[in-house]
Structure 1
């Protein structure tokens, strides 16, 4: 197997954003969950900023009904900018919300058939290139960002990569877990993937988190794959078929992961980011002490 076949530059990223966000109702009745703010940036903005830092040039949003506001967030708001300029206000906060014309593409996932199906919906845009996947619900917080760390590893080993985090062994049954091979620093060879194993059966304590770099062959596997757990087309099932046929590694993320798909995780992320901000960290720390007193 010639690994050089799996080292094309990673220029495209897929963002599955078609979910309904029912765990955050009624807040998400009219606002997509991806636009819920952690301090002053919506979740999707954190993911896009992380992608840009890693050198991603093209952004593919897999959307559903009621998600047009996500695309509008990255459009130019002429009226808002004109008003702010007229009042002498800086437009700096809006600069990260602009994506170059032609570099944002949306595709529809008309039926909720799972993450694997959402990724497959982007097949025509991805073509024959490797691509990244960002699950915006998972806020990966650190510097350099998670995807930048993964791209650095990809440039070394090529193939397919997933981000992983080490958790206490008692928690592995809640996650997808890798069966590890050779370990070199933060890079681990992936021998297998196990979804939510019993604690005593888990091959490691390294759980799969929401960042991926995959080769385009995954689309062909998703095309013919039947439904898996939960009656959905599972991305994990297709990735497992690549193991052994293409290089497959995991990158242990040097940073923090916040599960913003849960209310507690969302509050934790907001507090952690606020505490880390120079413009408000001390005030937030003092406020937290008052509330805990």
Structure 2
């Protein structure tokens, strides 16, 4: 799965199909965004259910994207998910209690164009969505990713900074940066095959028959090329995220990635990261209880709200 040539600035080009302003908006806005490499990304903006007054207390009325109510959550789904899947909608509904929410479908998923590169070029999708969220007037952006999306938010945060900073390796900055990062059920390293679900996933991605199953059985179009070059791994990305607040969440019954993955990520984060190991939780969005999603919302408000 190839990436862009070294030296190119990986910025997104936003081409919405409707107005971008959200001042006073009460309903959702759905549009397609164009990434730096020309893939159309289906994206949905939903105003938050609450605002924060000047005192920092929560109010139940809709508000404008200014001050503390300028917070928006960008939700990055897992592999084979999309913006319309029930588990993604559930995440959006809970987080809407803490700010505006943007959901989207990664390339190769749902109504978006292109083919999935399983975490490589998906950073360009996220860059387009984050830039759009800031263009809508939001002053604070938090990214919340699950599984594949969890690895993407880590890499994106490492390759971007609010106002500049660490770049892609040649000094370029990938997008506008974010104010808080939450990674749920993410791998620490690539090519992991230590569990039966991950061995099945590798078959799905690497075999022609598996890609057919992905396309017609899971509604996910998967690219046939190998990564070239291999992208920055999540555990290599994490040290570059500081000082942006970082939360790593993992279930102790995750059937895809055992607990050495979140512990590796937490060790790489050092003092700037926080690790929550959730008892009796499985993998990603489907397994995340609403109480955990509310705690994530509160954590983000406390760091980036």
Q: TM-score normalized by structure 2?
A: 0.31
Question: Greater share of strand residues, 1 or 2?
Answer: 1
Question: Greater share of helix residues, 1 or 2?
Answer: 1
